[in-house]
Amino acid sequence: MRLLQRWVDTPCLYHARRWLMASYARATLFILIVVGIGFVIGSTNLPGGWYAGLTKPPFNPPNWVFAPVWSVIYLLIALAGARTWERTPRGAGMLLWTVQMLLNFTWSPVFFTWHHTGVALAVIVAMLLSIIGFIVERWQTDRVAAALFVPYLAWVAFATLLNASIFWLN
């Protein structure tokens, strides 16, 4: 029993436990920030009557789909961001993560509040490119972070097609 207790109290395990707790705290902070800002932006830039009056393509999903999908995607984005920050806080991956996040948070006001579908299309294309850049950059050093962005890439690719269609039809 003493041998087990000595092993548990070794400096190596002590530091591993500290690192693990810091990782959980960092992930929690990223989740709170990303999901929180996403919620605020989503709730202050609602589709409203303007969006309802637009001509939309036949593949346009019902409005209720967007909130649950974005909630899951924001969780994945936050986890990828926390992992990237943990490994290379000043690296290219973190820069790409930050750029895509800024573009993500910019798109809703441009589209839903200011009704600039063309400018929103440019924003979402830039966001799509930054997401691809993040996946490519992270693939060699952190495939988990890269993989966490794959559903996001799929959704934003779909949203880009939807935005382009709305721009074209209106």
Q: Are 68 and 24 in contact (CB under 8 A)?
A: no
Residue 128 pLDDT > 80:
yes
Report pLDDT for 12. 57
Q: How far apart are CA 68 and CA 166, in angstroms?
A: 22
User: What are 6-54's pLDDT values in tens digits?
Assistant: 545 555 556 556 666 778 889 999 999 999 999 999 999 999 999 999 9
Report pLDDT for 119. 98
Report pLDDT for 124. 98
Q: How far apart are CA 154 and CA 52, in angstroms?
A: 24
Q: How far apart are CA 154 and CA 76, in angstroms?
A: 13
Provide, rounded to the nearest whole percent, the portion of the chain with pLDDT above 90: 85
DSSP per residue over 19-83, as a string? Answer: HHHHHHHHHHHHHHHHHHHHHHHHHHS--HHHHHTS---TTPPPGGGHHHHHHHHHHHHHHHHHH
User: What are 73-106's pLDDT values in tens digits?
Assistant: 999 999 999 999 999 999 999 999 999 999 999 9
Query: Which tokens go with 12?
Result: 């190596």
Identify the H or E element spanning 85: helix 66-87
Report pLDDT for 4. 46
159 φ, ψ (degrees, to nearest 5) = -65, -35
Residue 109 banded pLDDT, cuts 50, 70, 90:
very high
Q: Is 82 helix (H, G, I), strand (E, B) or coil?
A: helix
Mean pLDDT of the chain: 91
127: nearest Cα among 102, 145, 108, 163: 102
Residue 63 pLDDT > 80:
yes
Give the predicted TM-score (pTM) of the model.
0.88
Higher pLDDT, 13 or 72: 72
Q: How far apart are CA 31 and CA 72, in angstroms?
A: 11
